[in-house]
């Protein structure tokens, strides 16, 4: 998913989220990417990526989620 956001591929984000279940809010992600691209952004820059395991390592690894921070410029 982050690769698609970095490439500003709003056209592929929903299909990726549905097929791989790897993002909550695929529609919101696609809309944000489309808006940024429309406003002139050329790429997404990942500034941070963490998982819930980073904050709560005592929780089972099978129940973690990831969080990505991206600047679109």
| 3-56 pLDDT, tens digit each | 999 999 999 999 999 999 999 899 999 999 999 999 999 999 999 999 999 989
- Please tell me the distance from the alpha carbon of residue 48 to that of residue 30, in angstroms, as a whole number: 19
pLDDT of residue 6: 98
| 54-63 pLDDT, tens digit each | 989 988 888 8
Structure tokens at 35: 């808006």
For 5, 11, 18, 21, 43, the CA distances from 71, given in Å and listed in that order, are: 10, 18, 24, 23, 8
pLDDT of residue 64: 86
- Please tell me the distance from the alpha carbon of residue 30 to that of residue 17, in angstroms, as a whole number: 10
Which residues make Cβ contacts (< 8 Å) with residue 9, sequence separation at least 6? Answer: 33
């Amino acid at each position: 998913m982050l690769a698609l956001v970095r490439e500003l591929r709003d056209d592929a984000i929903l299909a990726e989220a549905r097929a791989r279940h790897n993002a909550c809010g695929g529609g919101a992600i696609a809309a944000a990417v489309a808006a940024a691209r429309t406003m002139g952004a050329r790429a997404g820059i990942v500034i941070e990526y963490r998982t819930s395991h980073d904050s709560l390592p005592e929780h089972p690894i099978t129940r973690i989620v990831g969080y990505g921070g991206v600047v679109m410029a």
